[in-house]
Structure 1
Amino acid sequence: MNIGFIGLGIMGSGMANNLLKSGFSMYVFNRTREKAKELENNGAKFCSTPKELAEKSDLIFMMLTDVKACRAVSEGKEGFLEILGKGKIVVNFSTVHPNYSLELRNMVKEKGALFLESPVLGSKIPAQKGELVILAAGDKEAFEACTNSFEKISKKTIYLGDVPKASYVKVVNNEAFATSLTAYLEGLAFAKKIGLDPEMVFNILNAGALANPYFEFKIKKVLDDDFETHFSLANMKKDLGYAISVADEFKCYCPTLAAVNEVFKKGLKKHANEDMSAIYKVFDE
């Protein structure tokens, strides 16, 4: 099967590279062609429009920042929806609002193609290593057709049924992760302000019930003043906005989510493009 991959940013570049190394015929599209150069040098073929990519591909994979970016490549005269038909499968790895995922599914189905929403758990390094967790929902036939390609980019794939269940799980995951990490970083900043060594406090907390390999990775970076972007603060703020919207829709009482959303709103002013762990700076300023 020919794979078309749209979106070659921090996540998409690693995923596309793993698929290419596994022997798939790859077509790629990115708004800025420079990000496709390494893949082109390794054998991928660059397409000038999403429509051209979809015409040449059986599987159309998307890994984009938000709903706006997804609309830009799917709709309009040069969007991939123009060329979709029976035999094509669209897989959206992007984290988007669940309601948009339903909308995109309907547009794809109207064209006779199959659709999967497949947001992933993991950031830059798991994407590069092929160790993501894929949350899939949508057409079971599409899921089965994608099994081989998913194995090249993930350590685990979970099929959740109908759209937008995977998007809901991703929203819950990011809400829980953001609120937990924010509380941890607030605690370390608190410790520093009252005269304790943050590294000492971290080592103590990490020896107890708060031990967590991903927190350990993030917090060691913070202690080294390393905020290289693996998952940007701006993208997490976007996802918290989705969570707020879903919570409002279902009338969920989520005061911690609301509070952390305000912290991230403050963090956007200075640290939008840094790693989400730069939220520590909001407490340390």
Structure 2
Amino acid sequence: MTQNTLKNIGFIGTGVMGKSMASHVLKAGYNVTVYTRTKHKAEELLAEGATWVDTVKELAATVDLVITMVGYPSDVEEIYFGEEGILQNAREHTYVVDMTTSKPSLAVKIYEEAKKRNIHALDAPVSGGDIGARNAKLAIMVGGDQAAFNNVLPIFQMMGENIIHQGEAGAGQHTKLANQITIATNMIGVAEALVYSKKAGLNPERVLDSISTGAAASFSLSQLGPRMLKGDFAPGFYVKHFIKDMTIALEAAEEMGLSTPGLKLSLELYKELAEKGEEDSGTQALIKLFE
């Protein structure tokens, strides 16, 4: 099956990110089928012309490419394996792409099981949050076979800009974990800097204007810093999902015998934030711990 025959695309998971990603593919003229545990999350896509199915099994059996964007590794495991799962029900030569941030070892397990069934599997987690998803500017980090990557690349290009094949199965997930490790301590720095600016009697918006383009520049500073100052804590990326990602990263680092003190500190702070009732807030809510 070549890229020219990848016409029927299935999306499982249409939350903050998945909804926008599926919408871009739909608007490009592809047939999009969706399934999500709570149907109301798919209503906008259905209004745009997507097709609804009631089960993972039905979706897997009727599309050329399945894209999954769910919450946790346990969700990934549930939808890929078992009698009602993707791998049991997809046809030969179907492509399956997990874009959830999940465990590298689970990506390898999916790849190996898919290969036994003549199914092409890629792990392709993304970075860029709700803004990147809406604007089709996501960074997409891909693990799996080069040929499968080449065939799915036109679909990736509808959702993102910085799309890099990182290596064999699991490499996409490892790259995303490196991304999350980078963000972990960066978020602490952004929150501390803005609170410091206020305490020093400065105008924090003007401070942001000065430091957002210099050596301190980052997505977190330029995109989430203004949200912190406005008190806008709506989730572009949930606190609970960041905790999940950092936990996976910390476990992976420990398995490799690597010390990551910055990651460990950030995870502790975000867990404290979640305990204060902020698990469904965006990651920018971290500033609440410092104010």
TM-score band w.r.t. shorter chain: over 0.9
CA apart distance, 1:135: 1.0
Alignment match, 1:210? 216
Alignment match, 2:260? 254
* Equivalent AA in structure 2 for residue 94 of structure 1: T
CA apart distance, 1:175: 0.9
Residue 203 to residue 133, structure 1, CA distance change in 2 (3 Å): closer
Alignment match, 2:232? 226
- Which residue of 136, 139, 145 corresponds with 1:133? 139
Name structure 1 gaps, 5 residues minimum. Answer: none
CA apart distance, 1:202: 3.6
Report if the CA contact (8 A) 2:166-2:175 is conserved: no
CA RMSD of aligned residues (A): 1.7
Report if the CA contact (8 A) 2:101-2:125 is conserved: yes
CA apart distance, 1:283: 1.4
SS at match of 2:140: strand
CA apart distance, 1:96: 0.3
Q: How does 1:1-285 map to 2 (within 5 A)?
A: 1-193=7-199, 197-206=203-212, 208-269=214-275, 270-284=277-291
Partners in 1 of 2:24 and 2:285 — Cα distance? 29
* Equivalent AA in structure 1 for residue 162 of structure 2: K
After the TM superposition, list the runs of 4 or more consecutive aligned residues in structure 1 that deviate by more than 6 angstroms. none
SS at match of 2:167: coil
Give the length in aligned residue pairs.
Answer: 284
Partners in 1 of 2:142 and 2:289 — Cα distance? 35
CA apart distance, 1:213: 4.9
Report if the CA contact (8 A) 2:92-2:119 is conserved: yes
Percent identical: 31
Partners in 2 of 1:188 and 1:36 — Cα distance? 37
Partners in 1 of 2:224 and 2:183 — Cα distance? 12
SS at match of 1:27: strand
Report if the CA contact (8 A) 1:138-1:163 is conserved: yes
CA apart distance, 1:228: 1.3
SS at match of 2:216: coil
Q: Could you list the per-position Cα deviations for residues 120-175 of structure 1 after superposition, in whole angstroms to 9, with x for gaps in the alignment?
A: 12111211121112111102221122122112111131111201111111001111
Q: Could you list the per-position Cα deviations for residues 237-272 of structure 1 after superposition, in whole angstroms to 9, with x for gaps in the alignment?
A: 111101110110111121111111111110111211
SS at match of 2:161: strand
Partners in 2 of 1:113 and 1:272 — Cα distance? 36
TM-score, length of structure 1 as denominator length: 0.94
SS at match of 1:168: helix
Alignment match, 2:4? none
Partners in 2 of 1:202 and 1:144 — Cα distance? 40
* Equivalent AA in structure 2 for residue 174 of structure 1: Q
